[in-house]
Amino acid sequence: MGSEHDRIRDEWEAVAGGWRRWEPLFQSFTWPVALRMVAVAQIGAGQRVLDVGCGIGDPTLQVAVLVGPHGHVLGIDLVEEMLATGRERAAALGLAHVEFRAADIATLDVPPASFDAVLARWSLIYIEDVSKALGRLRRAVHDGGRIAVTAWAPPEANPWIAIPMEELARVLPVSPPDSTTPGLFYLSADGALADALRAAGFRNVAQERVQLSQFAREATEFWAMLADMAGPLAPIVAGLAGPERRRLLDAVAERIERFRSGDVLRIPAQAQLAWGEL
């Protein structure tokens, strides 16, 4: 457990600076998920909300705006460098009712029934024992509270990352996506998240896909952002020799060109979203 925890933390520590650099484009990519999560979790003024795997503060900060100064939002993440950016963003927005804390969902320790809602965006997918993690989150929510969790939809619905992974596999021994083990496409099957929530004791569970769009002005910008932000891929790409990296970029650029809309690229993506209540 410890070594796996450290590996995941190290991967995302390595790209924390990239998330800071690409903050505006990342937000433009993921805002539909943030909106749907707060809607299905029925988050409103004055509520206390836990955001698990908050990264640089998304959707933590959007939630903080919704709950207002009489509410409270706690964002947790493994990577302190990510949290530092979240704190900076919160201060710039005057959101004093947001707290960021370095913590692991697998060992999370918060008072029982202390939150109205819990959100976990793309964090359960890196956890081997999802049932245990959801049990911890369940205990953190009071009776009548709600949960909203996300994963990625299957690779064919996510060419923004599937195409680079396919091209990378042509030059390096990269394992194909696996929906049955922790990683990018874990729990990607329709209904998998909902089944996990039901097994953890949540009621009135539902699941849907959320359509996203990855924006980039050019393929070089898209590739630079991906290489900076994609935790598991970044060290692999960094290890490529210059000519190999150039050929990889050219191959990806050719394949994503079909997503050009006028003078920009809008590359499709889909997330899985599931929710329930106690």
- What 3 state SS string does the chain have? CHHHHHHHHHHHHCCHHHHHHCHHHHHHHHHHHHHHHHHHCCCCCCCEEEEECCCCCCCHHHHHHHHCCCCEEEEEECCHHHHHHHHHHHHHCCCCCEEEEECCHHHCCCCCCCEEEEEEECCHHHCCCHHHHHHHHHHHEEEEEEEEEEEECCHHHCHHHHHHHHHHCCCCCCCCCCCCCCCCCCCCCCCHHHHHHHHCCCEEEEEEEEEEEEEECCHHHHHHHHHHHCCCCHHHHHCCCHHHHHHHHHHHHHHHHHHEECCEEEEEEEEEEEEEEC
Supply the pLDDT for residue 51. 98
In Å, what is the CA distance from 228 to each residue of 96, 126, 238?
Answer: 30, 19, 9
When divided into structural domains, the chain yields a total of 1
Residue 20 domain-assigned? yes
Supply the pLDDT for residue 1. 47
Domain CATH number, residue 128: 3.40.50.150
Residue 221 domain-assigned? no
Compute mean pLDDT per 10 residues along the chain, 278 residues long, and list them: 61 63 85 97 98 95 97 95 94 98 86 96 93 94 97 97 90 78 93 98 98 95 81 68 85 96 96 97
User: What predicted TM-score, i.e. pTM, was given to this entire model?
Assistant: 0.92
Supply the pLDDT for residue 2. 53
Residue 8 domain-assigned? yes
Residue 260 domain-assigned? no
Q: What is the pLDDT of residues 90-125, one digit of tens each?
A: 999 999 999 999 998 878 888 999 999 999 999 999
User: What range defines the domain where residue 195 resides?
Assistant: 2-156+178-215+269-277
Residue 253 domain-assigned? no
Residue 230 domain-assigned? no
- Inter-residue contact 216 to 264 (CB < 8 Å): yes
Residue 243 domain-assigned? no
Q: What is the pLDDT of residues 66-98, one digit of tens each?
A: 999 999 999 999 989 999 999 999 999 999 999
Residue 189 domain-assigned? yes
Supply the pLDDT for residue 266. 97
